Amino acid sequence: MGTSRIPGFYNKTLAERLAQTASSADLTAPELSAWETGGLTPESADPMIENVVGLHALPLGIGLNFVVNGREVLVPMAVEEPSVVAGASFMAKLARAGGGFHATTTDPLMIGQMQVINVINLHEAKLKIYEKKAELLAEADSIDPILKKFGGGARDLEVRILEDSPIGGFLVVHLIYDVRDAMGANAVNTACERLAPRIEVITGGKVHLRILSNLADRRIARARCTIPVSELEMGRGDPAGRPYSGEEVRDGIIAAYAFAAADPYRAATHNKGIMNGVDAVVLATGNDWRAIEAGAHAYAARSGRYTSLSTWNKDADGNLVGTLEMPMAVGIIGGATKVHPAAKAAVKLMGVKTASELAEIIVSVGLAQNMAALRALATEGIQRGHMSLHARQVAIAAGASGELIEKVAAQMVSEKTVRIDRAEEILKNL
C-alpha cells in the first residue's frame, strides 16, 4: 500500500477511482467486480437470510488520508449519507499533519450471559459456582478447538446477584471468552448453552437465557489524534464570509464537545456523528452494525448518564487533541465478512490481518467523523457542506462531467440556487 493521500481523487471518473484503489491493494478482477456489482446476486443472497426477494445496495466510497499507527490505509465506507466520506477524509488529512491516529485495543474478550432463576439461596449458589470455576472454564474452553488453536478460549467466569428485578432476585453468570479474530457471537452463545446444564446442577436453579452481551466493555478500541492548531484555520469562514483562526475553531470544537459531555440530548447526536463513520466501515466489511450500535450507546451510558463517547481538549502547545473509546466487536473471520465478496475485498483493501487492527481503523474513522461534524457545527454549520455535495449531484444530473461538475456546482452554491434548471443554464454558458 502506497499513500492514502490521493489529491483530486473525487474529480476522477468512477473507473479511475476504482483502478487506483485496486492497484494499491492488488485487488483481483473478481474482487473489483464485487464492488462494481455490490458483491451479491439474488441467488448468492438467498441462503443468507429468509424470504429473499432481491438485493438492496448502498454506495461504497473510499475514506482517504488515513494514517493509523503509522500505516497508510484506504478505508472502504458503505453509507448513503452525503458528506460522511468527504468529512472523514478531510479530518484524516488534518490529523495526518499531527502524525495520524494512534489506536489500541484490549484483548478481544466477549461476555456471554447466563441468567439463573429459581435459585433458593443466591449467595450460596454464587460461591458454589466460583468453587467450580476451573472445571467450568475447562469445559467452555474445549468447545471450540479452532478458536483455541488460534489462542482464544474461555478466560474467566464472574457471578453477579441481581436482587431487584420484576421477578425478584436471580443470578447472572458472565463467561468471559477470548474470540480472537471472530465477532464471537456464535462461539460465546455455544459456550453458554453448553455450560448451562452444569450451572443448573451446581445451583439447583434453572438457566433461562444464554446469550452474548452486546455491551462488549472488555473489548474496547481506543484512538487519539492531535491536530496542529495551524491546520484548523479556516480562510473561507462562515456563511457571512468571516474567516476563523485555528484557535477559534479549536475552542469551538472543545465547546461543542462540552455540550455533548453535559447533555444527553446533544450526546445522542454527537455519538450519531461518530457512528456515521464507524457504521460505514462496519457495513463495508460485512460486520454486524446493530451489535456495534448497541454496544456503543450502552457504553456511552455506563456511568448511569448517557454522555459523549469522545473527548476534545487542547494540549500544552495549544493543539487540538481528540480521543475516542468504545466497544468494537468486529471480526474478520466468519459470518458475512467471509462470504460476502465485497466485504472480503474491503478487508483486503485495508490490509488488516487481525480483528484488532480492523477495530483500530474503525475507531479512528469514528474520531475523524466526529471532528468533521464538530468543526462544521462550530463554524459554518453543516448545511453549507451538504449543499456543495448536493450541488455536485445536481450538476451531474444536468449533464456536467469532469471539471465542469465543480464549476457548475460552485456557481450554484455561490448564487444559493441549487436547481437542475439553473445547472443546465450555467452549463450552457460555460
**Closest separation in Å from C-beta 274 to ligand MEV:** 8
Spatial CA neighbour of 226 closest among 43, 91, 341: 91
Beta bridge partners of residue 110, listed in sequence order: 177
Of 12, 348, 386, 390, the catalytic one is 386
Closest CA to 81 of 369, 406, 326: 369
Name residue 158's amino acid.
E
Q: Which is nearer to ligand MEV, 222 or 270 (CB)?
A: 270
CB nearer to ligand MEV: give 216 or 373: 373
Is the Cβ–Cβ distance between 382 and 238 less than 8 Å?
Answer: no
**Cβ neighbours of residue 273 closer than 8 Å, sequence gap 6 or more:** 369, 370, 372, 373, 374
Which residue is associated with the grid cell 456563511? 239
Question: Which CB sits closer to ligand MEV, 4 or 310?
Answer: 310
- The Cα 68–Cα 356 span in angstroms is 12
Considering 31, 141, 181, 288, which one is annotated as catalytic?
A: 288
In 3D space, the residue among 293, 289, 126 whose CA is nearest the CA of residue 205 turns out to be: 126
Q: Which of 128, 272, 314, 348 is catalytic?
A: 272
Report the nearest approach of ligand MEV to the CB of residue 407 (Å): 28
Concerning whether 390 is annotated as a catalytic residue, the answer is no
CB nearer ligand MEV, residue 78 or residue 157: 78
**Residue in 81, 315, 415, 421 annotated catalytic:** 81
Q: Catalytic: 81?
A: yes
| Distance in angstroms (rounded) separating the CA atoms of residues 187 and 149 | 14
Q: In angstroms, what is the minimal distance from the CB of 249 to ligand MEV?
A: 15
Q: Which is nearer to ligand MEV, 61 or 335 (CB)?
A: 61
Closest distance of CB 372 from ligand MEV, Å: 8
Considering the complex, state which of residue 81 and residue 135 has its C-beta at the smaller distance from ligand MEV.
Answer: 81
Q: Work out how close the CB of 324 gets to ligand MEV at its nearest, in angstroms, rounded to a whole number.
A: 13
CB of 269 to ligand MEV, least distance (A): 4
Task: Report how far residue 199's alpha carbon sits from residue 36's, in angstroms, rounded to the nearest whole number.
Answer: 51
Residue type, 41: T
* Secondary structure (DSSP) of 120-139: S-HHHHHHHHHHTHHHHHHH
Number of continuous H segments (helices) and E segments (strands) in the chain: 17, 10
Instruction: Pick the closer one to ligand MEV by CB: 130 or 265.
Output: 265
Beta-bridge partner residues of 113: 174, 211
What's the min distance (Å) between Cβ of 195 and ligand MEV?
A: 42
Binding region for ligand MEV (CB under 6 A):
81, 269-270, 272-273, 276, 373, 377, 382
* 386 a catalytic residue: yes
Count CB neighbours of 430 within 10 A: 11
Query: By C-alpha distance, which of 380, 379, 366 is closest to 88?
Result: 366
Residue 382, sorted as left (phi over 0), alpha (psi -120 to 50) or beta, turns out to be alpha
Beta bridge partners of 115: 172
Catalytic residues: 81, 272, 288, 386
